[in-house]
Amino acid sequence: MQNDPSLPVSGWTSPHVATECSYNEGMETGIREAKNNLSKLVEAAMEGEEVFLTNRGRRVVQLVATPSQSPGLGRGFLKHRAHLYPGWDSVDEDKKIEDAFEPFDADLR
């Protein structure tokens, strides 16, 4: 009798093949493995990939990237928008600003 190639050979099991549905899309990794590869998993999530952490084969956590900051709100966002005239931080300019305000009168309290 010849072996049927569609049937598993004795002692051999076929690898699990995920069905194609939205639940099975994305990267899955166990929590213990995730501890060793967290930076890679975070990078994948930041690139838009769905990353799921599993516990005993069940999905328990999904890593999701936070929305990126809108452009122009970070450090130095006024670099090309604010144009300061030469001498804006000079002692003479400070004096002009001080003269624009009335001195504080302690008797008005």
Could you tell me the residue range of the domain that residue 57 belongs to?
A: 22-63
The answer to the question of residue 80 being in a domain is no
Average predicted confidence (pLDDT) for the chain: 76
The answer to the question of residue 17 being in a domain is no
pLDDT at position 33, please? 93
The answer to the question of residue 58 being in a domain is yes
In this prediction, residue 21 has a pLDDT band, given cuts at 50, 70 and 90, of: very low
Please state the domain count of the chain. 1
Asked if residue 63 lies in contact with residue 45, where contact means CB atoms within 8 angstroms, the answer is: yes
CATH assignment of the domain containing 46: 3.40.1620
The answer to the question of residue 29 being in a domain is yes
pLDDT at position 72, please? 59
CA separation, residue 17 to residues 29, 39, 64 (Å): 16, 27, 25
Residue 76 has pLDDT above 50, yes or no: yes
